[in-house]
Amino acid sequence: MDMAEIPVELKRLADFHGHLGPYVLLGYRMGLIARRYFPGKFFATVYTGTEPPVSCLIDGVQFSSGCTWGKGNIAVKEGGKAVARFYDGLRSIEMSPLDTIQTRIDAVSSYESGEKLSLDLHQLSDLEILMIREGGTETSDRIVKL
């Protein structure tokens, strides 16, 4: 992969995370959506657990949403699922990859194919890659820090 073909924001994401893959890309896109959705402060819960590759999603969310481990406004739950939930105490939004996208991610068999898929996914609109559900409350929506 020629790095010159990679958009600058994805280069920054790859620098932050260490590489470019479909899960960090999805987390990045989820965080951008949440930033547009909430007018002020918000919180994140991700259901990836801490085993890569699915946990790579956490770094993408941290990079674009501003919800970071250090600020205490992101929580990681076990589950091994590429699901992120965002909430501000008034509204909530939950996102996961479409089944067709998950199937493409599951077919990734090398670092190079993961990077290529990330770039392909980045060309697609939010609704072409993600299922986005608004509303509802979860016990995990309890706001612990401000």
The single-letter code of the amino acid at 138 is: E
The CA distances from residue 85 to 2, 11, 116, in Å, are 34, 25, 27
Q: Please state, in angstroms and rounded to a whole number, the distance separating the CA atoms of residues 36 and 65.
A: 9
CB nearer to Zn ion: give 56 or 129. Answer: 56
Stretch that binds Zn ion, among 3-11, 33-41, 48-56, 100-108 (CB under 5 A): 48-56
Site map 8..37 versus Zn ion, x via CB under 5 A: -------------x--x-------------
Size of the site for Zn ion (CB under 5 A): 3
**Closest CB to Zn ion among residues 120, 138:** 120
Looking at residue 122, its amino acid is H
Q: Please, which residue, 38 or 122, has the CB nearer to Zn ion? A: 122
CB of 23 to Zn ion, least distance (A): 6
Q: Which residue has the tokens 């995370």?
A: 17
**Residue whose C-beta lies closest to Zn ion:** 56
DSSP state of 108: -
Shortest Å distance, C-beta 111 to Zn ion: 10
CB of 19 to Zn ion, least distance (A): 6
Sequence-ordered strand ranges (E) for the chain: 43-46, 74-76, 84-87, 92-97, 130-134
Cα 24 to Cα 107: distance, rounded to the nearest angstrom: 16
Count CB atoms within 10 A of the CB of residue 56. 23
Q: Examine residue 56 and tell whether it contacts Zn ion (CB under 5 A).
A: yes
Q: Which residues of the chain form contacts with Zn ion (CB under 5 A)? A: 21, 24, 56
